[in-house]
Chain A
Amino acid sequence: MNILVFIKQVADTEARILIKGDNRSLEIENKYNLNFFDEFAVEEAIRFKGKVKDSKISVCTYGGKKAVEALRTAIAMGADQAYLIDNTDLDTDDPLITAKILAGFAKKEGFDLILCGRQAIDDENGNIGAMVAEFLKIPHVTAITKLDVVDEKKIIVENDIEGGKETKEVQLPALLTTQKGINEPRVPLITGVMKAMKANIPVIDPVTLGLAKESLDRNASKIKILSYETPKGRPPVKIIDGETPEEKVKKLIKLLREEAKVL
């Protein structure tokens, strides 16, 4: 079976991010990782491969040349092959474009199962999974917390719904997005890291995936960033003093009622 995992390289949570003078671009400290939720997707693909024989895991991203590092992380964990679809000069803020490219790749590569994280932690959109599934006309399930194999044509998944969980049978091919809790992503072994360092990662030009270059660039984008700003900071904290816990709480409740007006 062909398992595809779509990943994204994202700025680390702790990375410093500054707005450049034009207010339209960002300067991001050079600290990048494989997206938190995508680690669960890679791990689940490896576990799936363990259950269904003759499976192959291909990992793919639409990103800049630097994103190859995140692909190597996935190989170090246990993916078989990785592909970089190079978006140099085509960097986009429109998830429709990214999803079309990834769907184009999936069609070309062939697939039985596609996995990706439920959202990227940089733009926090969480759109790509369901969009790719729609472009491929296959079922999707978002935020899965369990995946069981019935046979080569059918799986059973559990996912988050409002206030609970749902269990469903899904026919393959399908696309699943992974939620925290589904597994514990492994830390790559040194042998995996060695393999990843040596792995040949083909670079794909997005225009070879059946989409015209004009439909991929900034002018084609349906989303446009107008400006960036830093969030308004809060005034310094008011530390509430008092002789006893009761006195402090009394003062706090008074402030919450009369000053903040939230009680």
Chain B
Amino acid sequence: MSKDIFVFIECKEGSIRKTSFELLSKGKELAEKLSSELYAVLLGFDTKSLIDEIKPFAHKILSVDTELLKDYRWDTYTDAMEYLIKKYSPYLVLGASTITGKDLFPRLAARLDAPIVSDAIGIEVTDGEIKIKKPIYGGKIISWVTTQNTPISIVTFRPNSFSIVKGDTAAEVIDERLEISMDSRINTNRIDKGGSKKVDLQEADFIICGGRGMKGPENFNILEEIAEILGGRVGASRAVVDSKWRDYEDQVGKSGKTVSPKLYIGCGVSGALHHTMGMDTSKVIVAVNKDPNALIFQYADYGIVDDLFNILPALKDGLKNLKQEA
């Protein structure tokens, strides 16, 4: 039986998301171990220019290019994925646990009666067994999971779970044409992208997060400036969002987003369990808080005990100088 791997490529604003390259990198490594082929699956409209970017990362590219797939919808995308999966019978389907992934993959799994492990952070394949690493209970426990009674498994991963390794393959491109139609029971009235050119919070390599210690919404400007210097994003604690200082889409934590950036800096964040559950898989955590007993110091690699309104301007200048030197 085939041990081929599918990676679902996600696009945003006409470009391929970073998380898809992470999955391609991991997928390639697994495919080499299994002596199988890695297929990049690209659904969309007018995607010719994107194909070259994927070529070095995969063995084959399955491309379905049609206007019907211009914007993501679960109905058209599930139909297209079902068709491709039935045609090529992959062993493993990898996707991202993004808003799109969380909408598409459970529907697809049910359609195929295939097991799904969601929001994983690691995967190993040994002796024909897939071992998937997945945090549960807000990261208090790590579970190792496998699948059984099935020829195919679907796994979705948190963005920033794998590093990107550019390959040297020149993937063969296979254009697939198929009949798809939109489900008439759903009509999109309006898509509001909010004009956001900001880096996706879950994909950001750098997050600077403000807590109640920021004292008010106006003080977030300096966090925005620091985030911009490092090409990152501003996050917020639940207290901040509940006080309406920041939008819910910025919320990091159990009831918000789970993030794992390379560098997380918490400013005036107390470190309630609710919050740390959403960020404790970050690679490096820095905490700035004037209370030396703040819980967040238990989760941090580096800490500064000081008034953040003294620290932030110095941090902004320090990082600005650093970037100018580089």
Interface residues, chain A, with chain B CB atoms under 8 Å away: 11, 13-14, 17, 19, 26, 36-37, 93-96, 99, 118-119, 121-131, 133-135, 138-143, 156, 160-171, 174, 180-181, 220-231, 234-235, 237-240, 245-246, 248-250, 252-253, 255-257, 260, 262-263
Contact = CB atoms under 8 A, between A and B. Distances in A.
Contacts of A130: 74, 103, 106-107, 110
B191 A222 contact: no
B233 to A, nearest CB: 12
A246 B313 CA distance: 9
Contacts of A167: 188-192
A171 B185 contact: yes
Contact of A161 (B115, B191, B286, B302): B191
Which 8 pairs across A and B sit closest by C-beta, in order of nearness?
A: A222-B115, A134-B110, A127-B106, A130-B106, A164-B193, A245-B310, A131-B110, A249-B314
B314 A245 contact: yes
Nearest to A127: B106
A161 B74 CA distance: 12
Contacts of B35: none
Contacts of A256: 263, 284, 286, 302
Contact of B136 (A122, A127, A140, A223): A122
A249 B150 contact: no
A119 B183 CA distance: 25
Given A169-B187, A237-B303, A250-B318, 10 more contacts: A99-B110, A122-B136, A124-B118, A127-B118, A130-B106, A131-B106, A131-B110, A163-B12, A164-B191, A164-B192
Interface in B110-152: 110-111, 113-119, 131, 135-150
A149 to B, nearest CB: 15
B287 A237 contact: yes
B301 interface: yes
B254 interface: yes
Overall SS of chain A's interface = mixed
Given A180-B255, A237-B298, A245-B314, A263 B111 contact: no
Contacts of B190: 166-167
Contacts of A235: 301
Nearest to A234: B301
Nearest to B75: A139
Interface majority SS (helix, strand, loop, mixed), chain B = mixed
B4 interface: no
A119 B103 CA distance: 11
Given A13-B274, A26-B141, A237 B297 contact: yes
Contacts, number: 251
Nearest to B313: A245
B113 A96 contact: yes
B110 A231 contact: no
B319 interface: yes
Contacts of A129: 106
Interface stretch (B94-102, B160-168, B170-178, B217-225): B94-102
Interface of B: 12-13, 72, 74-75, 78, 98-100, 102-103, 105-107, 109-111, 113-119, 131, 135-150, 183, 185-194, 196, 198, 200, 230, 248-249, 251, 254-256, 258, 262-263, 273-274, 277, 280, 283-287, 292, 297-307, 310-311, 313-315, 318-319, 322
B116 A161 contact: no
Nearest to B281: A231
Given A17-B141, A95-B116, A180 B248 contact: yes
A37 B255 CA distance: 8
Given A164-B191, A248-B306, A121 B138 contact: yes
A256 B283 CA distance: 11
Most buried by A among B106, B150, B310: B106
Contacts of A238: 301-303
A231 B135 contact: yes
B28 to A, nearest CB: 25
A228 B249 CA distance: 31
A215 to B, nearest CB: 11
B146 A226 contact: yes
Contacts of A252: 286, 302, 304, 315
Contact of A239 (B148, B230, B254, B303): B303
B314 A156 contact: no
A249 B141 contact: no
Contacts of B194: 163-165
Contacts of A226: 131, 144-146
Given A26-B141, A262-B284, A168 B186 contact: yes
A96 B115 contact: yes
A133 B186 contact: no
B99 A181 contact: no
B119 A125 contact: yes
B142 A231 contact: yes
Contacts of B283: 260, 262
